[in-house]
Structure 1
Amino acid sequence: MDILHIVALALIQGFTEFLPISSSAHLILPNQVLGWPDQGLAFDVAVHFGSLIAVVVYFRKDVWALIRDGLGGFATGKFTDEGRLAWLIVLATIPAGLAGLLFQDVIETKLRSAAVIAATTIGFGIVLWWADVRGVRTQTLAQLNWRKALAIGAAQAIALIPGTSRSGITMTAGLMLGMKREDAARFSFLMSIPVIALSALLLIVELLEQKEPVHWHDILIGTTLSGISAYLCIRFFLQFISRIGMAPFAIYRLLLGAALIWMIWG
């Protein structure tokens, strides 16, 4: 791949993975609209792994507390808020995992098109805006129960459709359930860890089955740039989301969807 394509795609993945605007859509579009060559499976693994490193590093204290208290609760018979949250994240991961196993082939062959991305970008952008405006935004992570966690997990499964945005749909679900913006975003980011890890693992298995050579230089650049940009994205998003709300991202989605429609049918 050309170095310009490597840098651009890695930054796109990093900056869009955790924003409610769909990283998968932005990674597909250069190929669909600009005619760029497909980045290949190895590069997909690299940029996803970079995003995974970023979210784990940023939430390293939270991750350690979730693992420690989630497992420790079985030994003591009592679960702290972190221990309970750990198992709610596990529960919320199940729907997306099952949907991925059942519908992966359909998604890869039927839904990775600019037309689908345009529809989901606009549709779920409107829903995101509505949820942000109408949500009561009073619930915290400490008040999250298994029903709400499972509902957010079911929403996460919908994000397998390109253009939906995993972070966008999970934040939308959280807002609809009355969560504060920061708490909905934090739960969304923590939920991303097992999902991205499972996704990367499946991609690695597919990669090992291929005979094509791996360009390790491209992999290193992609992983590094994706990780740095994703870390910065998480940091600044959490700092400003309570003030800026979801409107800028919803507007961006509407403009992007409109541009796609113009490119396809204009």
Structure 2
Amino acid sequence: MTFLQLLIIAIVQGITEFLPISSSGHLILIPYLTDFPDQGPLIDVAVHVGSLLAIIVYFFKDVLVLARGGFASIGVGADRPGAPAERRLFWWIVLGTIPAVVFGLAIKLGAFNNVAETWFGITVVDDDLMSSIRFTDLIAFNLIFYGILLGLADWIGRETKVFEDMTWRDGLLVGLAQALAIIPGTSRSGVTMTMARFLGYQRVEAARFSFLLSIPAVAGAGVLIVPEIFEAGTALAWDALVAGVLTFIAAFATMAFLMNFLKRASMSVFVLYRVAMGIGLFYFF
């Protein structure tokens, strides 16, 4: 693989994984606009690992709180001041992860194939989804629909809650929203921020909530691809390392940008971008 291909994959993954603009809506354009070969499962794992490390480094203090909460749940440091609150946040994140795990495993096992074929005209396990015109229509529609929903949530949502205010109900609802990201064009970060804003979380806190909830989701997505690596071999080890490092840089910069941007601006620019891109996909394809 060329450095240019690795760079483009890393930038697209690092940026679109965390901005509420849908990674699938952008990834679909790469094979149409370039003659790059498929990057393979090892590169997919590498970019997921790069994204995951970026979240952990950027939100290290929050990750440490959640880790302490996990240890407190098994009795390690359970008598510390603050341990009950940390334990509660840990379990609410676990609760919010369950819907995505259930939906992800169901798709991996092919449980939704009939639904996907009936409703969307696509086959989930088909390796050549990009050739489906109805698949591109689905992405375009969801870019627009969930973009408008994001704008509505940002417009009417109060700004009263922070991440530490999370309850089991909030964790579950945002987790259910995250599970919707299995539908192409939805955007995992976009749909979780949308739900968090509807629940009254401040813009920055909605993004923080979304990113922290993504840790097990991004890690799980990488783990699900690992078996494919053993089938394909590991000849691209150096390319994978480069892709992972580049993705880490792109993802870290994206999170820093978004967290600072949302301190002084609304989600409107992302809403407009999603709608424009959705219309563009309808026209282009």
TM-score by length of 2: 0.86
Task: Give the aligned partner of residue 238 of structure 1.
Answer: 259
Structure 1 residue 74: Cα displacement: 4.8
Match of residue 130, structure 1, among 119, 133, 152: 152
Residue 165 (structure 2) pairs with residue 143 (structure 1): yes
Alignment gaps of 5+ in structure 2 = 114-123
Structure 1 residue 108: Cα displacement: 4.3
Output one character per residue of 1:165-185: Cα deviation in whole Å (capped at 9) or x when no partner. Answer: 101000000011111111111
Q: Counterparts of 1:1-266 in structure 2 under 5 Å?
A: 1-32=1-32, 34=34, 36-75=36-75, 76=78, 79-104=83-108, 105=110, 106=113, 107-109=124-126, 113-208=135-230, 210-264=231-285
Q: CA RMSD in A?
A: 1.9
What secondary structure sits across from 1:242 in the alignment? coil
Please identify, of 61-70 and 106-115, the stretch whose mean Cα deviation from structure 2 is larger: 106-115
Structure 1 residue 252: Cα displacement: 0.6
Please identify, of 138-147 and 150-159, the stretch whose mean Cα deviation from structure 2 is larger: 138-147
Distance 2:142 2:29 in 1: 14
Structure 1 residue 70: Cα displacement: 3.0
Structure 1 residue 79: Cα displacement: 4.0
Distance 1:188 1:9 in 2: 22
Please identify, of 160-169 and 235-244, the stretch whose mean Cα deviation from structure 2 is larger: 235-244
Distance 1:167 1:143 in 2: 19
Output one character per residue of 1:171-226: Cα deviation in whole Å (capped at 9) or x when no partner. Answer: 00001111111111111000111111111111112222x14453122112110110
Distance 1:211 1:246 in 2: 41
Alignment length (residue pairs): 263
**What amino acid does structure 2 have at the position aligned with 1:255?**
A
Shift in alpha-carbon separation, 1:124–1:111, aligned structure 2, 3 A: farther
Please identify, of 170-179 and 60-69, the stretch whose mean Cα deviation from structure 2 is larger: 60-69
Please identify, of 116-125 and 21-30, the stretch whose mean Cα deviation from structure 2 is larger: 21-30
TM-score by length of 1: 0.92
Counterpart contact for 1:181–1:242, Cα < 8 Å: yes
Distance 2:129 2:158 in 1: 34
Higher helix share: 1
Distance 1:230 1:187 in 2: 16
Distance 2:4 2:71 in 1: 45
Distance 1:12 1:220 in 2: 17
Distance 2:168 2:129 in 1: 31
Structure 1 residue 149: Cα displacement: 0.9
Shift in alpha-carbon separation, 1:108–1:131, aligned structure 2, 3 A: farther
Structure 1 residue 143: Cα displacement: 2.3
**What amino acid does structure 1 have at the position aligned with 2:208?**
R
Alignment gaps of 5+ in structure 1 = none
